[in-house]
């Protein structure tokens, strides 16, 4: 396992890379939630890599985990920027081509935006509790998270996972509660996705409803297949609430991925 930092633009991003132990497998790239990080995935990446045999990358976005501390407020297009500008650069720096993106919550939205950009080659998408648009239930839960952060031990619990927990929390919380963010919607990218999709939603998700993954199923018309997995007794984090079910579903999905479908990007210094 390799742990380190990669320079993307003018920022240092924390990452962990677990090697493959089977051949002819795509690389899995895990994209964390709005308050996630490398360490907040806990042992899920190791379990997933062991089950699938895939090389597996986990990284902390700018402002999260041990990556550079957030110095400015997020804007309403912060997920667009991550999916269309930062993630492509990160993959080139680490020489990862044609990955399967495994996104959770905000990370799943970033995965959709990345795959919906025709410049990016993606072998598949695994989307856990994705956001395609803003729902009232999301805002209510994010408001509740703010109250918890300001009145409970939540800051000390989150501080185990982030260099500057206050900046991390309010960077995420403030933009989601910004009135302008209520108009945020990425449904326009769905029809441009041309890779297989596995979308996973918990029936008890406190941050979103089944309308999110149903929108993906209805509108991702260019995808060769869209599978929906609706999990009972599962809230906003399927990989924690229903770990084995999620790993089994991803393993089956990866088994059917044709990693030769999309062309690989050209890396700096290559002859192709």
Q: What is the CATH number of the domain that holds 230?
A: 3.40.50.1820
Give the span between the Cα atoms of 38 and 30, in whole angstroms.
Answer: 9
Q: Is there a domain that residue 101 lies in?
A: yes
Q: How many CA atoms lie within 13 A of 162 on its CB side?
A: 26
Residue 29 lies in a domain: yes
Looking at the structure of the chain, the number of domains it has is 1
The model's pLDDT over 2-40, given as tens digits with 9 standing for 90+, comes to 999 999 999 999 999 999 999 999 999 999 999 999 999
Whether residue 264 is contained in a domain is answered as: no
| Domain assignment present for 270 | no
Q: Give domain status of residue 144, yes or no.
A: yes
The verdict on residue 265 lying in a domain is no
Percent of the chain with pLDDT over 70: 95
What was the pLDDT predicted at 258?
72
Percent of the chain with pLDDT over 90: 94
pLDDT tens readout for residues 77-93:
999 999 999 999 999 99
pTM: 0.95
Q: What is the DSSP letter of 83?
A: I
Q: State the residue range of the domain holding 155.
A: 2-255
Confidence of residue 272 (pLDDT cuts 50, 70, 90): very low
Token pair for residue 264?
Answer: 């690989």
**Residue 162 resides in a domain:** yes
Please report which confidence band the pLDDT of residue 270 belongs to, taking 50, 70 and 90 as the band edges.
very low
Q: Is residue 66 part of a domain?
A: yes
């Amino acid at each position: 396992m390799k742990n380190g930092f990669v320079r993307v633009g003018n920022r240092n991003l924390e990452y962990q890379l677990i090697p493959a132990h089977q051949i002819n497998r795509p690389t899995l790239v895990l994209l964390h939630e709005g308050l996630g990080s490398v360490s907040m995935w806990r042992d899920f990446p190791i379990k997933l890599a062991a089950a699938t045999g895939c090389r597996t990358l986990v990284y902390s976005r700018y402002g999260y985990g041990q990556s550079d501390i957030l110095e400015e407020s997020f804007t309403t297009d912060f997920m667009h920027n991550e999916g269309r500008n930062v993630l492509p650069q990160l993959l080139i720096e680490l020489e990862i081509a044609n990955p399967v993106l495994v996104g959770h919550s905000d990370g799943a939205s970033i995965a959709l935006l990345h795959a919906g950009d025709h410049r990016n080659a993606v072998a598949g998408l695994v989307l856990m509790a994705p956001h395609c648009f803003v729902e009232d239930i999301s805002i209510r839960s994010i408001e509740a998270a703010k109250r918890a952060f300001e009145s409970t031990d939540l800051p000390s619990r989150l501080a185990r996972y982030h260099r500057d927990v206050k900046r991390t929390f309010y960077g995420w919380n403030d933009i989601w509660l910004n009135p302008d963010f209520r108009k945020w919607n990425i449904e326009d990218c769905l029809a441009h996705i041309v890779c297989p999709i596995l979308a996973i939603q918990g029936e008890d998700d406190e941050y979103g409803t089944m309308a999110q993954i149903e929108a993906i199923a209805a509108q991702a018309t260019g995808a060769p297949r869209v599978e929906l997995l609706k999990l009972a007794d599962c809230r906003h984090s399927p990989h924690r609430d229903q770990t084995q079910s999620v790993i089994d579903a991803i393993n089956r999905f990866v088994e059917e991925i044709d990693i030769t479908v999309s062309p690989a990007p050209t890396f700096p210094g290559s002859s192709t």
